[in-house]
Structure 1
């Protein structure tokens, strides 16, 4: 998957997670919303991990390389690939 398409999917999943978190603040017992949150939270994490494997971590907590700190070694998401 290309970088831009993956970033767009991450943005969409992030929006869904953030939106339902706001809803859950006022409707904490809504089981359907809780399932929606879990589903999209897991999808977002999967997408973030996929992005990190292909293009480098989007956030510092996604650095999984124990041999080298790779957080600042890859292009930032808004930078064009060389």
Structure 2
């Protein structure tokens, strides 16, 4: 198992928390599609997720593949440890 810097785990945990909130709000909005405040919260967390993901990838490399994350030059997908390797 690869040991990463403390900030790696903090950002990854923050991303997991934000993903949980987004998932929970998605389920809620499926049954309450007219809840304006919930939609606002959902959009705020989506924006936050993009920011945290960008910060994480800038420091530690891509999180996802198939066009969801940019790559540095040279191709760096192979360089960062996979989340299950840390």
Q: Could you give the per-residue CA deviations for residues 6-57 of structure 1, whole angstroms, max 9, x where no partner exists?
A: 0110000000001101111111110010011001111011101111000001
- Larger RCO of the pair (alpha carbons < 8 Å, separation 6+): 2
Q: Which runs of 5+ in 1 are unaligned?
A: none
TM, length-normalised to structure 2: 0.82
Paired residues of 1:63 and 1:69 also in contact (CA < 8 A): no
Instruction: Name the structure 2 match of 1:46.
Output: 51
**Residue in 2 aligned with 1:63?**
70
SS in 2 for 1:71: coil
Q: What corresponds to 2:28 in structure 1?
A: 23
Whole-Å separation in 1 of the counterparts to 2:41 and 2:79: 35
3-state DSSP class of the match of 1:2?
Answer: helix
2: CA distance between counterparts of 1:25 and 1:68?
42
Which of 11, 15, 18 is equivalent to 1:6? 11
Matched positions, count: 79
Runs of 4+ in 1 over 4 A off after TM superposition: none
RMSD, aligned α-carbons = 1.5
The answer as to 2:51 corresponding to 1:74 is no
